[in-house]
Amino acid sequence: MKHCGVISIAFIRVLIMALSIPLTPLAQTQSSTASAPKPARPEDEIVHQLRTARNNPSQYVELIVRLVKEFPETPHAESAGFSFSSALKRQARTDNGPVKMRELAKRFIEGTASAPAVLQVHTNGSA
C-alpha cells in the first residue's frame, strides 16, 4: 500500500513537470495569434447586416438574396435555405398569416432564381 502511494506522488510530480513545460510556448503562440485581426472577407458586411436584421424577417430575406447573388461561393450563401427557414420561423412567431409567409417565400424563390443551381429553390409542380 505504501509503495502505491509513493508511485502516485512521483507520477503526479512528473505529470506536473511535463505539463508545465509546453504551456509557456503555447500561451505565447495563442497571445500572438489572438492579437492579429482576421482579414475582412468581401461578404462580411452583408453577414453582419444579417445578424442585426434577425428579428426583421423581410429585411433578413432581402439580405439572404443579396448574399446569394453577390457571393454564391461562400458558406453563408450555401446555408441560405437554412437561413430562410429561420426567417420563416421568426415570421410565424409574430404573424403567421399565409399572405406574409407567401410574400417571403416568393421573394426568396424569385431572388435566388438566378443563383447557381445548387443554391436555387426548385418547386415541386406535382405537390
Query: Taking the CB of residue 56, how many other CB atoms lie within 10 A of it?
Result: 15
Q: What is the pLDDT of residue 57?
A: 95
Q: Enter the pTM of the model.
A: 0.63
pLDDT tens for 53-100 read: 999 999 999 999 999 999 988 888 888 889 999 999 999 999 888 999
Alpha-carbon span 91 to 64, nearest angstrom: 15
**Is 76 in contact with 119 (CB distance < 8 Å)?**
no
Question: In angstroms, what CA-CA distances link 43 with 16, 39, 58?
Answer: 46, 12, 20
Angstrom distance (rounded) from CA 64 to CA 125 = 25
What is residue 111's three-state secondary structure?
Answer: helix
Cell of 99: 399572405
Mean pLDDT across 25-48:
70
